[in-house]
């Protein structure tokens, strides 16, 4: 253990020695229990195989209809891109852009980046400008929401089954398989193994060594900085505003710049928009019998009264409870950290992890609306359009995710360190 390379925890900044893992295993921080890295035998090769298969399924899933709706012999089918186009045509370009980015652009960027990096390594070649592509991969991974899209499709199918005959398309099954492959590829992809293999195989790619015996127990107190992209620990540059990782080129900071200010800004904006997101109509339905405006809560009530109570519970948790609890949780973290509270340090770090994990699932209602708007277009009989609350709700989801990203969990543990100023 003492011979291991020096590493710093990305959640509490504690310096510790890297341990060699054999077989499947996880190395966790001894203070906050954050996952430092996970060992997967042949993980990169498996990730490459999953990624190449996922790319093929991605093309098929977007080329064929996801689902169709049949009414009196009239069949309406839609692909994912058709649904985005209809939202844009109806003037809901913010929602169209959000759906396009999270279900098409970011998954495509994630898969292409992984293939770009892993395929040359498999052929014993060094990828050209792998540092830039690796940072693009880190940018895309939190915003690719294929698994949330699948759940949204299932909820939409339940609602559509009460309107007309539902015809599942090839795209629906393909996206289901794509979801599993993307999850498997992300689980098998280990950045630690990636850079270790690159450092071992290519001259000039090795990571610089750091202190053998750090003078303090945290990276910041020892004059070191850790890269959040590749995990490399380096000596702090005197020109902090110009510091960058020597391996992947990412910007380095002891702590995220203006973490409190940016988190509060995103959080306050989300709280303001949360009210219209739940009060205004999220969907407008027009039919021969008149028009009806549905809020998020009325959609939950509809699912419950129609007998689909499991989906009603899922939608209530994802669309109403999770955004509200995220706002409360982030507010609690920021206030307690600004007050330099020493209470529940580990518990607050766990809250931060949960907030980051569940944030994307609030997009569920946006995807349900997307599918319904694209399919219920029977002009004379019935049409569905997205309401103003959809824009507000989409903004709430994005803003709370930005707030969680802006918050630096290492600030929680700074209160436990002696003041070295």
Statement: residue 119 has pLDDT above 70: yes
The residue ranking higher by pLDDT, 3 or 106, is 106
pLDDT at residue 318, rounded to an integer: 83
pLDDT at residue 211, rounded to an integer: 47
Statement: residue 62 has pLDDT above 90: yes
Could you read off the pLDDT of 7-56 as tens digits, one per residue? 888 889 888 887 777 777 788 888 888 888 777 777 888 999 999 999 99
Residue from 59, 162, 142 nearest 397 by CA: 142
- Flag the least confident range among 26-35, 68-77, 87-96, 284-293: 284-293
Following DSSP, what letter does each residue of 23-78 receive, concatenated?
A: SSEEEE-TTT--EEEEE-TTHHHHHHHHHHHHHHHHHHHHHS-SEEEEETTEEEEE
Q: Domain extents for the chain? A: 6-39+208-242, 43-188+247-252, 254-421
- DSSP bridge pairs for 240: none
pLDDT at residue 334, rounded to an integer: 96
Residue from 400, 250, 349 nearest 13 by CA: 349
Angle of helix 146-160 versus helix 170-188 axis, rounded to 10: 150
pLDDT at residue 351, rounded to an integer: 94
Relative to beta strand 382-386, strand 290-294 is unpaired
CB proximity list for 381: less than 8 A, separation 6 or greater: 71, 287, 288
CA distance 91 to 130: 39
Residue labelled with tokens 């510790």: 16
Could you read off the pLDDT of 122-165 as tens digits, one per residue? 888 888 888 888 889 989 989 999 999 998 888 888 878 777 78
CA distance 40 to 118: 15
Statement: residue 240 has pLDDT above 80: no
Statement: residue 104 has pLDDT above 90: yes
CB proximity list for 260: less than 8 A, separation 6 or greater: 334, 337, 338, 411
pLDDT at residue 259, rounded to an integer: 92
Statement: residue 281 has pLDDT above 80: yes
- Look up the CATH architecture of domain 254-421: Up-down Bundle (1.20)
As a whole-number percent, the residues of the chain with pLDDT over 90 amount to 34
DSSP 206: P
The token pair that represents 369 in the structure block: 């609306």
Q: What is the mean pLDDT of residues 298-314?
A: 80
Statement: residue 205 has pLDDT above 50: no
Q: Tell me the CA distances in angstroms from 305 to 31, 157, 286, 289, 384, one per residue in order.
A: 48, 16, 21, 20, 21
C-alpha triplet 107, 122, 43: angle, nearest 5°: 65
Highest mean pLDDT of the ranges 53-62, 117-126, 159-168, 247-256: 53-62
The token pair that represents 1 in the structure block: 């253990």
Statement: residue 173 has pLDDT above 70: yes
Statement: residue 328 has pLDDT above 90: yes
- Flag the least confident range among 71-75, 341-345, 367-371, 387-391: 71-75
């Amino acid at each position: 253990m003492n011979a291991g390379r020096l590493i710093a925890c990305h959640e509490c900044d504690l310096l510790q020695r890297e341990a060699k893992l054999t077989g499947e295993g996880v190395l966790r921080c001894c203070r906050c229990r954050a996952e430092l890295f996970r060992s997967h035998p042949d993980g990169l090769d498996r990730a490459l195989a999953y990624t190449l298969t996922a790319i093929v399924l991605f093309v098929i899933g977007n080329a064929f209809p996801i689902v169709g709706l049949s009414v009196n012999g009239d069949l309406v089918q839609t692909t994912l891109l058709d649904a985005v186009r209809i939202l844009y045509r109806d003037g809901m370009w913010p929602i169209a852009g959000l759906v396009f980015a999270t279900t098409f652009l970011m998954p495509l960027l994630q898969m292409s980046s992984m293939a770009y990096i892993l395929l040359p390594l498999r052929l014993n070649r060094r990828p050209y400008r792998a540092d830039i592509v690796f940072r693009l991969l880190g940018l895309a991974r939190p915003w690719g929401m294929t698994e949330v899209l699948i759940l949204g499709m299932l909820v939409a199918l339940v609602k559509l089954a009460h309107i007309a005959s539902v015809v599942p398309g090839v795209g629906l099954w393909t996206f289901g398989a794509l979801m599993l492959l993307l999850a498997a590829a992300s689980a098998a992809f280990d950045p630690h193994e990636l850079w270790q293999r690159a450092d071992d195989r290519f001259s000039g790619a090795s990571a610089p060594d750091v202190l053998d015996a750090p003078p303090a127990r945290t990276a910041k107190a020892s004059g070191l900085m850790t890269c959040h992209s590749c995990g490399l620990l380096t000596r702090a540059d005197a020109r902090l505003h110009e510091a960058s990782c020597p391996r992947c080129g990412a910007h380095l900071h002891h702590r995220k710049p203006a973490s409190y200010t940016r988190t509060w800004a995103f959080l306050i904006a989300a709280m303001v928009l949360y009210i219209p997101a739940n009060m205004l109509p999220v969907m407008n339905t027009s039919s021969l019998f008149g028009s009806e405006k549905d809020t998020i809560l009325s959609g939950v009530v509809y699912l419950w009264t129609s007998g689909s109570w499991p989906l009603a519970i899922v939608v209530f948790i994802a669309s109403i409870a999770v955004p509200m609890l995220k706002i409360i949780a982030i507010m609690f973290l920021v206030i307690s950290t600004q007050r330099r509270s020493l209470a529940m340090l580990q518990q607050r770090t766990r809250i931060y992890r949960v907030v980051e994990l569940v944030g994307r699932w609030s997009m569920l209602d946006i995807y349900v609306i997307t599918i319904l708007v694209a399919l219920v277009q029977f002009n004379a009989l019935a049409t569905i359009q997205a309401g103003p609350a959809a824009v507000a709700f989409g903004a709430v989801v994005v803003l709370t995710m930005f707030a969680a990203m802006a918050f630096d969990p290492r600030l929680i543990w700074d209160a436990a360190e002696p003041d070295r100023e």
